[in-house]
Structures are given as structure tokens and as C-alpha cells.
Structure 1
Amino acid sequence: MAKSADHEQASPSSSPPAYVFKGPAHVAIRTRTNDQPRYVDTRLNVWTWYDGGIAMTIDWTVLQLNSELIEIGKGFMAYALEKYAPRTAAMFADSLRFLSNTNLATGLPWEPIELTSALEELKKSRRALVGFRGFYRWANNRGINGFDTRSYLKVKNTISDRVEPYARIFLSQSSLELDEEIRLLKRIGRDLSFCSWEEIQLNMALHLGFELAPRSIQFHSLDIVDFELIESSDHETYYTLWLPMAKKIGQRMPERRPRKITNLLGAKISRHISEIQRRFGSGCEPLFVSRRGRRLSVNEIGQGLKHELREAGIEKPNQVSMLLRHHLGQGLADQGTPMDMIAELLGHNRTVAARAYVTATPNIARIKEKALGKSPSYRRIMHSLLTGEIVPRRDTVSERAVRSVIDTQYIGDIGACALPVHTHCPYNPVYACYTCKKFHPFADGRHEQVREALQLEAQRFIDLAEQAGDLIHNRPLAQHQITILAVSATIERCRQHTEDDADGAV
């Protein structure tokens, strides 16, 4: 990239020269497809760029930053647009908008107390903090007046109040239950003879999501030329899809990696390509298109997949493509697939997310299934081994109610203890209650709150264990997992108890 702004204008010797952006008129940006703009016009008041069919902008006229910070911001954004992915550049733009609402917006130099106050605000948004950190580092590395290494170290060491990426992934894997998978496969394999080509396209997307679990941006980036059909000498047909990688760092255009697909899916894609080329001509490039032949945006693809999942009877509207990714990842792990292979197949840069699936081994998966009440025989065993009888809240005196704190959260209204009043329990309340016969859970108790608090606390053990490199042999984590399963079993028992009472009333 040409030096975008490392030029200074002349000023009186009594004050340091101010920074002025003198970058190129057009900044080349990274693109995923051939049908989106490749440059941003820096002469305009509003800079616009695209990714996934979605426009992203920064309007310099509405930012409440002083003139010098506007110039510095333009230099930084020109650098970010050329160096980083469009979505990352959008994050930096968001950080500048956030900055304009802090006490730093009035201009340089920033007093230490002003910077500290602003960082407290930035901590509330991880994206804003990461973006501001990148902005400060860029300005400091270029020796721009008002930025110094000591202050940068303070910015660098500020930790966001928000959770880090993948922070909850070990305890929040969401995949399809067996009955949901059956309904999904029925939806994929349904008769499409009397369906419109748009419905067939959505069915094909759902089928692809089940087999390869691409992100929405990968669906969006797929072109017709990414589909490959090979017929062997003995007339066997093989299909390959060159899937664009979504999160590979440092690449101008997304790398494409070959993925084998089933003959059933391959035949669907082949017929679909013939149809859209008949409708929109041989010059049509995208694989997923609107009724006018335009490439579908990530939002349109997400809505289409959401519709298909809903039609299959799967009501998880906030997950969509991620649900299919988690399901594929967990399925691979349950078959003994190594972490690096799972990361490769899902297109991850690191194995952090893949470790989440591997830790949920087939045995743990079966335990979870049993704990959730899938096995009638196991329900009877759990009923005898875990807590005491379920009791109504109204029949319990307040002195017997169980209360405690988990992960800084106050936990109450969950059940009663059968020990004599004022008797000291030798075990840790709540943590031990769900495996104790003396504990009588309330049918309408806040057991979900307990499970969530335990999951958050267990995540802290996971983070520390990862740093120590000993995630497997971690006794506190194992104990938390057992307790979480016991809480899940209690939730199921309470649900069944409530349903039985309702049936009896009828």
C-alpha cells in the first residue's frame, strides 16, 4: 500500500505539526467474489465497502471527533481496509464511532485520567476495545503526536468485560437431537417434483449445510465453477465442491479447498446449475441466486436456512448455520476424528473450537442423553440415586430453603433441605444438593439458573486448565460436569412431575 498518511503539514514551531490524511484516492480492498466493488473511494464523505452482499459504511460527517482525529481515523481506516478483511474493517469503523461518544473525542493530547475513563467505557464492548487497541497501535507505530508506547501498553493490557471468543463453547455445544436429525433428513429427502426452483435451491442449501456445514458467508461466496463433476472410465460419477474458506488470515481472495459430496447432493447441484443457467444465461456466476439472478446475501441465505429448519420442525431460530456446524463437528468427534482434522474440515484457524467437540466424547454424550431423561431405565436409577422427592414451594418453611452463591450469582428458590433446621451441612450448598437425597427440589425451582451459573464457573476452570495445558485431568472441572448433569436430570424430573400433575388434574 502507498503511504496513506505519514505526511505532516507545516505549522508554527510552538506546536507540533498536525496529521493530515493524504492517502490514495482509491483503496483496494479484499473481496470474496467477482461481483462486488474492489475499491473504496477515500475522497467521499461516506466510505462504503461490501462483504457477503451487505454494505458497510463509515460517515465522517457524523462522527463527533475533532478535525485532527478525523484525519487520523481516515489514515487508519485506509490501512485497515487494505490489510484486513471487510468485516474486520467494519469492526474498526465501529470502534471509531464508539470513540466519538467518549471524552477522547475532543482531541489530542489525551490526559491519562481521560484515557482511563474512556477505557472503562470501551471495556463494555469487546469489539470496540479490540478496534481501539488496533487504532492506538497503528498511530503509535507511525509516531503520530499524541500517541505513546506507555499509554499503548495500558490500552493493550485492558481486558474486556465481555467473554472472549470460544469462551463458552466447551459447555454450550448445540447439535441436533436424534429425532431432530431424522426430521431434518426427511426434509432433505422429500419429493421436489412439484416444488419451485427457489424451493429446490433452499433444499439444496439445507442438504449442503448438513453434509459440509459451511458458514453463511461460504454459501454466499460459492460460484458455479466451484462445482466439479468427474466421471470415471467405468461410468462412476464423483462430485467435488471447492469450498471457499471463510476465515483464513492474510488472503486477498478466499482459498478454496476440495470437499467430496454425496452423489445425491451432487445430482441436486448439477440440476440446479442447469436450471439457473437456462434462466439467467451461461454468464451467471453465483451458485445461490435470487429470482432475478443476483447473488444471495448472507442475510437471505440465513433466512432461507431458518425457514427450512422451521419446516423440518427444528425451532432453534438463533443458530441456523451454526447449529449445522456444531452438529457436524460433534458427529466427527464422536467418531474419533482428531482435533486437527475437525478444524480443517470446519475451516478453523485454530483447534480451540475443535477441542470442544472432542471433550464431549461418545461416553459423555450418552451420559448427557441419559441425564436428560431419554432412557426410562436410567430415569428410575437417577430417581433413586439423586435428590429426594419433589415438593411444592408453598409447603416449605423458609428456614429449610437452600440458598447460596455460584459464580458471584445469588441462587435461591430451588428446593428445601431435609436436615433439621439450623443443622450445619458438611457439604457445599447447591453444589452438593443435586446429588443428595436430603435435597427436595421445587417443581418450579430456578434450576436452569443453577445450571447456567455452574456452566459459567466451569468455564473459568476450562480457561485456567487450557493455560496450564491440562484440560483432561482436571478434577474440579470433572466435578462440575457431574453436577451439571445432575441438575439437568433434576430439571427433567421436575418437568415430568409438572406434566403428571397436569394430566392428573384433567
Structure 2
Amino acid sequence: MREQIQTEQSTPLFTHEQLNWIKSTELPSRVFLKSATEFDDQFLYFHNDWRFRYSGENKSIPFSKGKHFRDLPPETIKLIKIISLKYIEENSASVVDAFATGLAMTFADISSVTRDNLLAKLHALVAKEKRNHADNSQFYYTLFALRKLDRLKFFKSTDGKEDLEELLLELPRPRNSNWGVYQNLDMVIPEEVCLIIENGVQRWASKLTPSLKTKEEKIAHLKKIKNVVNLDKLRDCVTTGIVYYVGSRPVQLGKMAGGDFVIDTMNEHGSRFSILVPYAKKSKLTIERIRVAIPEELGRLVMLYMRLANIGKEDALLPQKSTSNKPVNDAIKRMLLLFSPKEIQKAVKNKDYELPVYTASLFRHNVGHSMAMNGASAIEIAYVLGQSSLVVANKYIAATPDMADIREQALGRNPVFKNMIVLMLTGNLVHSSKWTGRRVAGSIGGKLHYHLGGCDYEEEICPFSQGRACHGCLYFKPFTDGKHHDVLDSFNDELAEVRNVADDTATVNHPLLKELTRRKQHVIQVIARIEMAEAKEGN
């Protein structure tokens, strides 16, 4: 009893519920470092002090006797470890030592761990007159911790039920030249997760709904699909796709009927689909449904799901449950695992890695943030999200940094952007003389590129853009003697042309800039990996 009283008195930061939450949360013995290279430690072992090698450096977090940790009670140290683990699972481990230090400084400056106190700390960091780079880092590390603790229901007994992301829209961000470095931290959904979902939906649509011309072919394919498709997994895929592309709340998904799915056009050249989204909150001035276009790939999957599940126009699109939040969020979690690379699935199965949790609410805010970043008006954002007023939509726009910063990142001038070239590696490297499978080629920058690598995708038809999308594809096997620098030059040529068009037309947010930059980054990653492999063989 005496030890319990001393513990509670020595940790005024936490409530009784929070102390129990920290105590009941078990840390694993190790965690898989998903972005580790051949020269890094593949696992981080959770001893009292964390020590590992990553990105060519020996990393250390001295939890036991470090300057910023030695005066903190053990419960606070464990909470920092829990949040740091979540950070590693979602980001590169290269700065987790600075991340843990930043959290220690934040917890040392607040009287109790509540949403209000952490928000106040963020405001104080922004308002600091002589703010430096370390303060900016502490801001974004604290922001990540606040979001993570809120998602883990850490503040359940001490804070109100206001949506945290709406409160964060009113929080000014630090102004500094390195804003692009922190963009993914400030994005609700990391760009890598968005890419996994987009590629996953496209891959499933290509496999399950191929382009067939005759009625006989379509009937035969549907008969074949009925015997092999898992309807529950297909429903999860449809649910995740609608949440990701439309930003629908679970309660809106629960109100959707089969008749809300609309086939706008369908011919030999392609199809167009839209979905009628009900308002989650009604007002006297709103209409019953809003019509939002969805990608063709998602539309074909929804159509297949409705046929296999025998859903009519008056039937509910998804099964009716007592609550809509948990089934939707569970579907997203299961689908992210299925869409993830095999090494991530293996690490999850072996309990070496815990897949980050992203809820439907976070995807909704991601849609609003992304639209604001691309120059959408408040009316457009409110319409797509099904909002009956422009209040929240205006906050998304107000929270968007200067377009000059976005353009700077799109041009790829940021040195950190250029150095982050090994975070997302593609398939196994192979010499062209040893590859016997299908080879890829494609036109980029007005030039035909070949001798790039092989493809081990199980279908003959590429669901993506062959050649152009290969370097970022999980099925691509880059040739170590491939002509990857020629592809990089062509992407640079295309970027130059798009920038010239954007400048001549005064288009601040050209839609191709971001996509071309991402494709260019994938090529740089492959080139870097080949150089690393050659250097290792030379040694």
C-alpha cells in the first residue's frame, strides 16, 4: 500500500485510469525496423536503454540516466517508450532518439497529461519568440504524441469528446524553411499508407474485374469469381475504398443503400461511377444526398460486391450493426494488412511489428486536408465531406501552409527529400542475365525505356502504368545493370515541362507535379539500392 501511494504521489502527471493504462500496456521484447537497410540492425531490442544501428549511425536513448530522462518517474518513461514504439511503426527509426528526447522535454513542462495541456504546449512552442530548429522538432513530435494518445483513448476520463483534428485545425504551425521535412508528420494519414491503399484497390480491380467484351465472357468470369472470392474480404475492400476516396463517416456508410451507387457511363472505352453520400448531420438547408465521383477501379469492385451479395437498390450496402464505427474501422485495419508488403505481413504474424491503426475519422480529415493542399475551395471541401456549413472547411484551408513551401517540396530541392531514398525499397535485385520471366518497358518523357527489370505479377496485364510505375511496385525486380538513370532523366524532363506549363498558366498546384515527383523518387530509391548492393559486393 505504501508503494502504491508513493507511486501515485510521484506521478501527478496522470490520473488513476491513465496509470492503470500505462501499467497494463505491455511492450514487446523487440520491434521490426521496416526501413532498415542491409547494414542496419533489423530489430530494436527493448532493454532499459535502447541502442541500435540505423542509417549508418549508432543510435542511443539513455532512458535510465540520460539528461532529459533521469528526473522523470518510471511511469512517464514507460509512456515515452510506448509512444516511441508507435512512432517507429509508422515512420523511419532514424530520429526516434530525438523524438523520445522531445517528448521528455514536453512532459517535464506540463502539470498533467491532458489534451488541453498538450495543445497549450504546442501553442507555446509556436509563440516562442526565439524559436529554433529544436523547438520546431519538439512541436511536431508533441503533435504526433497528442494524436497517438488520443487515438489510443488515453484521455477518455479527463477530456471532452470534441474531435481532436478539428481542434488542431486552429493550431498554427511553426514557420521554418524545413516545413517539408515534417509534412508527413502533420498529414493525418502518411503518404505511404495512401499509396498502399491506392495500389491495392487498383490491383484487386484488375484481378477481379478485368475488361471483358462479350456477354458470355462476363457470365463465365462471374461464375468463376463466385467460387474463389471471399465476400467478407471484398466487403472490407469496398468499405476501405469508400472511406479513403470519399471521406465518409461510418454513420454515413450505414445509411447507404444499393441505389446510392450510380453507374454514370459504361462503354467499351471505360466506365464512370459515383456514389450518393448522405449527410451525417442534417440542417434545414441541406439536401438528402450529395453526389461524389469515385475512381473506376473502386466502382467496378462495388458493382461486383453488390452482384455477389445480391444487394438491390433498396437494400443496405453494408450489413447493419448495432454500431457502425467498429465494423468500419476493423475493415480498414484488416485491409491495410492485406495490402501491405509480404515482409510486413510476416513481421505482424511473428509479432515483431504492430500495424498502425487508422480510423475512418482520420481518413475523413485526410480528404479535407488533401483537398485544401490542392487548392480546393471551402464550398468544394464541404460538399465532398457532406458538411452542412463551411466552418470546418475554412479551417482546413487556414491550416494549409504557403503554396511556395509546397512548390519547394514538389521541386525536390529539399536535401532531406533527396536523402530519404531508402525508406521504401522495391523487390529483390537481379542481374538481367539471370532473369527468365516477363520484362517491363514503357514510354516516359517521349522516349521508350526498356532493360529496366522483370515483373513477377501473377496476371499478364499490368494493373498500373508499365514502365512508369514499376520502380515503386512490389512486383518489380530491378536489373542491377538496368538503364535506370535514363528513366530518371526522362522524369526530370517531364517535371521541367510541367513546371513550365504551371508557370505560364499561373497554376500554383498543378496536379501532375506531386505524382511525377513521387515516381521520380521511386527511381532514385532503386538506383540507391543498386549502388549500396554493389558497394557491399565490392567490400
Query: Is the shorter-chain TM-score for this pair beyond 0.5, marking a shared fold?
Result: no
What TM-score, normalized by structure 1, do the two folds share?
0.36
Larger Rg computed on CA atoms: 1
Per chain length, whose mean CA-contact separation is higher, i.e. which structure has more relative contact order (CA < 8 Å, sep 6+)? Answer: 2
